[in-house]
């Protein structure tokens, strides 16, 4: 029998209290309903964002950067897979022992790890970039929650410092920083892909949220460079810079028929695999630095006189006592030669002879020749930092300036411009464009000189490397050589500096049918020897001889063609 509560023990609530309680409950339910509606509609995006931040990840799928090879397929730059360690601070569970073990493996300090992982609002923090897969495996074997790996690529440069100034290098994010890595970055890098997934608290992928966006790998870049010739030029230039204790040196080797750059090297250089302490060493001086070319400019001005002024190789030019006075200035020859032929003006490197021939021309004729040869304009080779050089408008020229420009003073050029200009003598007067990329066929240039003028000048340039010329040390066993030396004072803040020089040589071989053109420049030698025929011509000889034989270019002279005249130890001086 059920127990019945006595009537007097029942507590009767007042009607108003029942109503208040009912209203409170209804209001509570209403508030919860409103909050639910608010969270499910108005504040939906925020909640989804927070949820995604916890479990959803967009994984970047790195594109493979294209290779850079030389013309023969030899690697100059290649990417290898590496791993980067990253953490999600909100999910990270680090014990004191784990911190120490992780710091030891990554060669970091414990306090650095603590600092990087302190901000729990961040969802992605790199701990260490680009470590080896083996080391990455050891890190993951610690099984620390919140520690993950991301696949990346590290760039390697098999040619090292030999080709550093051409190839350049990439930064930590695999973007080009110097050289062709920078200039052709978009072409090489491709486009990264992505994959959006849900991960659990252990970092394991639970579900794919979207279709994978496949990465587009970068394209390979095939350069015109021949790694073998590049090494030869680097080796010999390094020896010369060291021997003459020079500030710097540069060298360019061109294919005479196509204008392709087969070698381009600079000293000092750097290691692109470990680009530290490289300030001042990354400039590709062949393209980014200008200098006054000195007497290597004489073939251009003398050819202009032959083209426009009717001069022939045997035309006589009176150089008098080796001086020419124009107003307050006097031009000097190293030795007085009197009445000499145009061919001897080139052979003896006569400033007076070149000046008189240049002054016989209209200013615009000489300027037009220099302009058509590419001076004062970029070569459009597509290299970052290329400069145009300096060629002033002819309307401002005074007679002394017209004269000095004929032998390479008062005009500034790059070494690449100088090498390119000599393609006119290798191609019957046609100037070839230059290229750092391998070409499928020889490009069409433009005609600057007539065939007769170009061939006559090429023959005269052969005299420069023979007895009586200024470049006896440029001779190559088995091959005829044509070329020209240059020696010039450097231009400083207060004018030409008496004790600072640039010695250079530009030449081609075999002279009967030029296959290669090489330009060499030695900047500020300090041993007391500075003539181009002394310090630059031997570099040309060593590189050219080995390169021609390497390319199996047929000889056009006997093996004993090198003539060393009596007293060859004393080089023929040239005027500056």
Quick: pLDDT tens for 76-115. Answer: 999 988 888 888 888 788 888 888 888 888 888 888 888 8
CB 464 within 8 A of CB 484: yes
Which pLDDT score is estimated for 455? 97
Report d(CA 241, CA 146) in Å as an integer: 54
Cα-based angle 134, 138, 141 (whole degrees, multiple of 5) = 135
Enter the tokens of residue 57: 């990840």
The H-or-E segment that residue 131 falls in is: strand 125-131
Report d(CA 301, CA 356) in Å as an integer: 11
Enter the tokens of residue 317: 């030019």
Q: With the CA atoms of 426, 535, 418 and 414 taken in that order, what torsion angle do they form, in degrees rounded to the nearest 10?
A: 160
| Beta carbons within 10 angstroms of residue 17's beta carbon | 9
**Helix (H, G, I), strand (E, B), or coil: what is residue 386?**
coil
Enter the tokens of residue 221: 């870049």
Q: With the CA atoms of 236, 239, 242 and 244 taken in that order, what torsion angle do they form, in degrees rounded to the nearest 10?
A: -80
Report d(CA 217, CA 204) in Å as an integer: 27
Task: Tell me the percentage of the chain whose pLDDT exceeds 90.
Answer: 59
Which pLDDT score is estimated for 128? 86
Which pLDDT score is estimated for 569? 44
Active site residue 295: yes
Q: Looking at 79, 295, 303, 412, which residue is catalytic?
A: 295
CB 317 within 8 A of CB 304: no
Q: What is the 3-state secondary structure (H, E, C) of 431-460?
A: ECCCECECCCCCCCCEECCCHHHHHHHHHH
Enter the tokens of residue 342: 């145009």
185 preceded by a cis bond (ω within 30 of 0): no
Radius of gyration over alpha carbons of the chain, in Å?
37
Enter the tokens of residue 98: 């784990």
Specify the domain boundaries for CATH 3.40.710.10 within the chain: 227-273+283-550
Strand 221-222 to 205-208 pairing = unpaired
The mean predicted confidence, pLDDT, of the chain is 87
CATH annotation of 227-273+283-550: 3.40.710.10
Class of the domain covering 58-94+122-222: alpha beta
CB 295 within 8 A of CB 531: no
pTM of structure: 0.83
Which pLDDT score is estimated for 567? 46
Enter the tokens of residue 223: 């350069």
- 258, 357, 432, 434 from 444: Cα distances, Å: 9, 31, 7, 11
Burial of 525 (0-12, 13-18, 19+ CB in 10 A): buried
Phi first, then psi, for residue 216 (nearest 5°) are -105, 110
Enter the tokens of residue 107: 């060669």
Tens-place pLDDT, residues 458-483: 999 999 999 889 999 999 999 999 99
Which pLDDT score is estimated for 420? 98
**Helix (H, G, I), strand (E, B), or coil: what is residue 76?**
strand
Report d(CA 98, CA 144) in Å as an integer: 7
Q: What is the 3-state secondary structure (H, E, C) of 208-258?
A: ECCCCECCECCCCEEECCCHHHHHHHHHHHHHHHHHCCCCEEEEEEEECCC
Which pLDDT score is estimated for 263? 98
Within 8 A by CB and 6+ apart from 540, the residues are: 474, 483, 505, 507, 518, 520
Report d(CA 315, CA 309) in Å as an integer: 11
Specify the domain boundaries for CATH 3.90.1310.10 within the chain: 58-94+122-222
CB 389 within 8 A of CB 420: no
List, run by run, the mean pLDDT of 10-residue segments along the chain (576 residues): 60 71 82 76 63 59 86 94 84 82 86 82 82 86 83 89 95 89 92 64 53 77 97 97 96 97 96 87 94 95 95 94 89 89 94 95 96 95 94 93 94 97 97 96 94 97 92 94 94 82 96 97 94 94 96 92 59 63
Asked whether the CA dihedral 442, 448, 454, 458 is positive or negative, the reply is: negative
């Amino acid at each position: 029998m059920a127990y019945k509560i006595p009537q007097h023990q029942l507590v009767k609530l007042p009607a108003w209290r029942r109503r208040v309680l009912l209203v409170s409950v209804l209001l509570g339910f209403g508030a919860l309903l409103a909050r639910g509606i608010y969270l499910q509609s108005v504040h939906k995006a925020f909640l989804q964002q927070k949820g995604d931040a916890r479990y959803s990840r967009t994984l970047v799928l790195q594109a493979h950067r294209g290779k850079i090879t030389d013309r023969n397929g030899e690697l100059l730059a290649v990417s290898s897979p590496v791993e980067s360690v990253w953490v999600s601070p909100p999910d990270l569970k680090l014990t004191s022992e784990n911190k120490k073990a992780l710091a030891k493996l990554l060669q970091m300090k414990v306090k650095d790890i603590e600092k990087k992982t302190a901000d729990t609002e961040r969802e992605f923090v790199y701990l260490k970039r680009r470590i080896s897969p083996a080391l990455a495996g050891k890190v993951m074997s610690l099984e620390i929650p919140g520690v993950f790996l991301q696949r990346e690529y590290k760039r390697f440069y098999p040619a090292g410092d030999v080709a550093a100034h051409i190839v350049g290098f990439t930064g930590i994010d695999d973007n080009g920083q110097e050289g062709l890595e920078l200039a052709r970055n978009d072409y090489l890098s491709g486009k990264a892909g992505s994959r959006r997934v849900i991960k659990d608290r252990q970092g394991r992928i639970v579900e794919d949220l979207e279709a994978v966006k496949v990465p587009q790998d970068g394209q390979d870049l095939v350069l015109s460079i021949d790694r073998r010739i590049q090494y030869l030029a680097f080796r010999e230039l390094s020896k010369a810079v060291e021997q003459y204790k020079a500030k710097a040196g540069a060298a360019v080797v061109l294919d005479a028929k196509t204008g392709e750059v087969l070698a381009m090297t600079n000293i000092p250089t750097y290691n692109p695999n470990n680009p530290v302490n490289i300030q001042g060493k990354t400039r590709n001086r062949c393209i980014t630095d200008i200098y006054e070319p000195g007497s290597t400019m004489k073939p251009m001005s003398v050819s202009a006189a032959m083209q426009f002024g009717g001069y022939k190789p045997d035309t006589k030019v009176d150089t008098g006592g080796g001086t020419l006075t124009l107003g307050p200035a006097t031009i000097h020859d190293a030795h007085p030669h009197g009445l000499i032929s145009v061919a001897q003006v080139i052979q003896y490197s006569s400033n007076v002879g070149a000046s008189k021939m240049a002054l016989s021309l209209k200013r615009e004729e000489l300027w037009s020749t220099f302009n058509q040869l590419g001076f004062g304009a970029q070569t459009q080779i597509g290299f970052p930092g290329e400069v145009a050089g300096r060629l002033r408008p002819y309307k401002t020229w005074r007679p002394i300036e017209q004269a000095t420009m004929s032998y390479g003073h008062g005009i500034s050029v790059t070494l690449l411009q100088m090498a390119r200009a000599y393609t006119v003598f290798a191609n019957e007067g046609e100037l070839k464009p230059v290229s750092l990329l391998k070409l499928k066929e020889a490009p069409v240039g433009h005609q600057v000189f007539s065939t007769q003028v170009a061939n006559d000048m090429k023959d005269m340039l052969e005299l420069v490397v023979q007895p009586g010329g200024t470049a006896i040390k440029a001779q190559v066993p088995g091959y005829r050589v044509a070329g020209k030396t240059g020696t010039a004072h450097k231009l400083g803040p207060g004018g030409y500096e008496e004790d600072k020089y640039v010695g250079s040589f530009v030449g081609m071989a075999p002279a009967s049918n030029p296959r290669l053109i090489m330009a060499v420049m030695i900047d500020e030698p300090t041993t007391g020897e500075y003539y181009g025929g002394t310090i630059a011509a031997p570099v040309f000889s060593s590189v050219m001889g080995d390169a021609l034989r390497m390319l199996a270019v047929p000889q056009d002279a006997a093996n004993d063609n090198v003539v060393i005249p009596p007293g060859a130890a004393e080089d023929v001086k040239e005027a500056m």
